[in-house]
Chain A
Amino acid sequence: MDSTMSTKSKWWLSGASIPIMVWTLVPIVWIFATSLKSDAALGDQSKNTFGNFWPKSPTWANYKLIFNGGAKDLFLPALWHSIVICLSATIISVVLATFCAYAISRLDFPGKKLILTTALAVSFFPVIAMVTPLFNLWRQIGLFDTIPGLIIPYLALTLPLSIWILSAFFQQIPWEMEQAAQVDGATSWQAFRKVVAPLAAPGVFTTAIIAFFTAWNDFVFSLNLTSSNARTVPAALAFFTGASQFTQPTGAICAAAVVVTIPVVILVLLFQRRIVSGLTSGAVKG
């Protein structure tokens, strides 16, 4: 594909990436700029430059606050909880959804429509109405404020989306390869493991990224089903306080957002490599 592309269209595509990056990055840089502002600079235009964008005297005070200062005990455990809980939920959910979506798009069995419809229905019930009964149930069975107690609701949050994305993805995989394997005497399971799984890898990793961010973003479950042993970053941010009780912790929240984004970017880089390699291997051609 790359070899057939003319130099002109290569340049055109590189050119098109510039506005995309600007649109994406300006708000990111803005969050970073805000994290470098002192409380005084936040509302005072004379202390900022470049159209009230960048602080004239950047300060690391907000980062000190979240790593050493008052927010330390709140932020670092929350970051750890977020990573553990969201990764676990993502892995479990993607594995379960892969099996489920494979069955839906490849096998003939009654109840497929029921599974897809249920997935849609449960994922779109307003979370806010779900959280109170879940809170009572969790207290009774001892799951309140535990890591599994948050992984389980996140599975419910990410599974439906994963099942739908993967079902759509699996439908478009050229299945001649699997049939060929079955003709050669492989069972359904062997055909799945040896032939389909490598073909499905890009879809699976795309789903993993989306499932991870869905869990990562959750605020309502974390706020209501945890208190300190499993609280994740979005809920912990709600408990941030400023330098004094009466200043809004805008800078600290932005600093936390910047710090929290770094592991996510690393994760995306790792996953994204799999997407690219999977998508460019032309194993099914011919």
Chain B
Amino acid sequence: MTIAADRAPKTDKPVTRKRTITDRARGERSLGWRLAGPAFVVMLFVTLYPILYAIYLSLFNYRLTDPSGRKFVFLQNYGVALTDSLFWQCFVTTFIIVIVTLAVELVLGMAIALVMNRIVMPRRTLRTVVLIPYSIITVVSAFSWLYAARVDTGFFNHWLHFLTFGGFNLDYNWFGGRWSSLTIICLSEIWKTTPFMSLLLLAGLAQIDSSMEEAAQVDGATWWQRFYKVVIPNMKAALMVAVLFRTLDAIRIYDNPYVMTAGANKTLTLSMLVANETINRVEIGMGSALAVILFVIVLIVAFIFVRGFKVDLTTTGGRN
């Protein structure tokens, strides 16, 4: 078993490949596109036109209520957005949510995945129960956390009051300030999306050949050494996909803070700002520009992650 060695970069490969394009290589190329083509076409069919149209609209000063007043302003919308203090406030709020939820979910998701991977009893029950929050529709989960935290309808304050032997104020208003609101938003986000993380990490964990871990154990490696030197390197691809998609999804957080605070107390996120411009203020041009900015931010973060993890999914593994 040399999984790790298989993925080592083979620098001489492209040269030898180019020199002789055999029938087999040509067959492989056409099979490659025949297999990958349909997915590629379907993705572009739905998204290409809306994306290009949004980029086009972002160059105009355009209100839906005043179509005749549409005026080409080139990059002016971008300039206005990037110099607006509200934009940067939303930027900070969004990234606080992203960093806090990602850090907690990574640790929690990994812990849950490790337990699920090895547990004997209750194996199936745990694996099913853990996934339930992911199946609850985001709006519903947001409402239930909102009602749980509110002074009049909730149980949080009552339970905290009980657990601290009356030390916690029963009338504490979680939605009265920025940080306490963000705490509840992050908690419900973590509850809702940790299953995504643990499911992907479990799939990665289960692919690790247990004989490697056993060998390390025989050699006297501690639990932490085995985890850090054997487990993590062998599930790097799964780890990257889990972290990447969770982060990029978190950057676009919308439903959850919308239901909880509707942006009060400086809890407005970037996606909510986009929606406010396009739907409430019908500033289509500005809204599109903000959408494109959000999109670029997401792409930059994605680029950093893919580079940072040093995982190249396009290398064909297992070949010489």
Contact of B47 among A1, A113, A156, A175 (CB under 8 A): A156
Given A28-B132, A188-B28, A234-B139, answer yes or no on A285-B209 (Cβ-Cβ < 8 Å).
yes
Question: Closest chain B residue to A199 by CB distance?
Answer: B207
Given A27-B148, A153-B46, A168-B238, A219 and B314 contact (CB-CB distance below 8 Å): no
The answer to the question of A43 belonging to the interface, with a C-beta cut-off of 8 Å to chain B, is yes
- What residue of chain A has the Cβ atom nearest to residue B145's Cβ? A27
Say yes or no for A120: interface residue by CB 8 A criterion. Answer: yes
CB distance from A92 to the nearest CB of B (A): 8
Chain B residues contacting A128 (CB-CB under 8 Å) are 254, 271, 274-275, 278-279, 291
Report the nearest B residue to A192, measured CB to CB.
Answer: B35
- Asked whether, in the complex, the Cβ of B38 is within 8 Å of the Cβ of A96, the reply is yes
- Tell me, yes or no, whether B95 is within 8 Å of chain A by CB: no
* Chain B residues with CB under 8 A of A234: 137-139
Q: Is A246 an interface residue (CB 8 A)?
A: no
- Measured CB to CB, the nearest residue on chain A to B132 is A28
Chain A residues whose C-beta falls within 8 Å of the C-beta of B158 in the assembled complex = 51-53
A-B contact pairs, 11 of them (CB 8 A): A24-B130, A43-B152, A51-B162, A52-B158, A99-B36, A109-B36, A118-B40, A129-B274, A132-B284, A172-B238, A179-B318
Contacts of B29 in A (CB 8 A): 107-110
- Write out, one digit per residue, whether chain B residues 281-317 have a CB within 8 A of any chain A CB (1) or not (0): 0001001100110110011001000000001011111
Q: Which residues of B contact A206 (CB under 8 A)?
A: 199-200, 202-203
Segment among B69-77, B82-90, B112-120 that sits at the interface with chain A? B112-120
- Could you tell me the distance between the alpha carbons of A202 and B205 in the complex, rounded to whole angstroms? 12
Chain A positions 243 through 286: 1 when the CB is less than 8 Å from some CB of chain B, otherwise 0 = 00000001001101100110011001100110110010000110
CA distance A112 to B302 in the complex (A): 17
For chain B, the bracket of interface size reads 35 or more
Question: Contact residues of B with A, CB < 8 Å?
Answer: 1, 3, 6-7, 17, 25, 27-33, 35-36, 38-40, 42-51, 53-54, 111-112, 115, 118-124, 126-141, 143-145, 147-148, 152-155, 158-159, 161-162, 191, 196, 199-200, 202-204, 206-207, 209-211, 214, 234-235, 237-238, 240-241, 244-245, 248, 252, 254-255, 271, 274-275, 278-279, 284, 287-288, 291-292, 294-295, 298-299, 302, 311, 313-319
Asked if A219 meets B119 with Cβ closer than 8 Å, knowing A153-B46, A276-B127, the reply is no
User: Within 8 Å CB of B288, what residues of A?
Assistant: 129
A222 to B203, CA, bound (A): 30
Q: How far is the CB of B212 from chain A (nearest CB, A)?
A: 11
B42→A17 contact, CB < 8 A: no
B238 touches A175 (CB 8 A): no
Binding site for B on A (CB under 8 A): 1-2, 4-5, 9-10, 13-14, 16-17, 20-21, 23-25, 27-28, 30-31, 34, 42-43, 45, 50-53, 96-97, 99-100, 102-113, 115-116, 118-134, 137, 152-153, 155-156, 159-161, 163-165, 167-169, 171-176, 178-179, 188-189, 202-203, 206, 209-210, 213, 216-217, 219, 233-234, 237-238, 250, 253-254, 256-257, 260-261, 264-265, 268-269, 272-273, 275-276, 279, 284-285
Across the interface, name the chain A residue whose C-beta is closest to B38.
Answer: A96
List, in ascending order, chain B residues with CB within 8 A of A127's CB: 252
Q: Please, which residue of chain B has its CB at the minimum distance from the CB of A179?
A: B318
Q: Is the CB of B124 within 8 A of A14?
A: no
Please judge, given known A-B contacts A118-B43, A168-B237, A285-B211, whether A108 and B32 are in contact too, CB under 8 Å: yes
Main DSSP-derived SS at the B contact region: helix
Contact B126 A174 (CB under 8 A): no
A34-B147 CB under 8 A given contacts A102-B35, A109-B28: yes
* A30-B240 Cα distance, complex, nearest whole Å: 34
* CA A212 to CA B32, docked complex, whole Å: 26
In the assembled complex, the Cα of A128 lies from the Cα of B252 at a distance in Å of 10
Cβ–Cβ < 8 Å partners of B49 in chain A: 133-134, 137
Is the beta-carbon distance between A237 and B144 smaller than 8 angstroms?
no
Question: Beyond A172-B234, A219-B138, is A103–B122 a contact (Cβ under 8 Å)?
Answer: no
A25 to B209, CA, bound (A): 32
Residues of chain A within 8 A of B147, CB atoms compared: 34, 42, 250
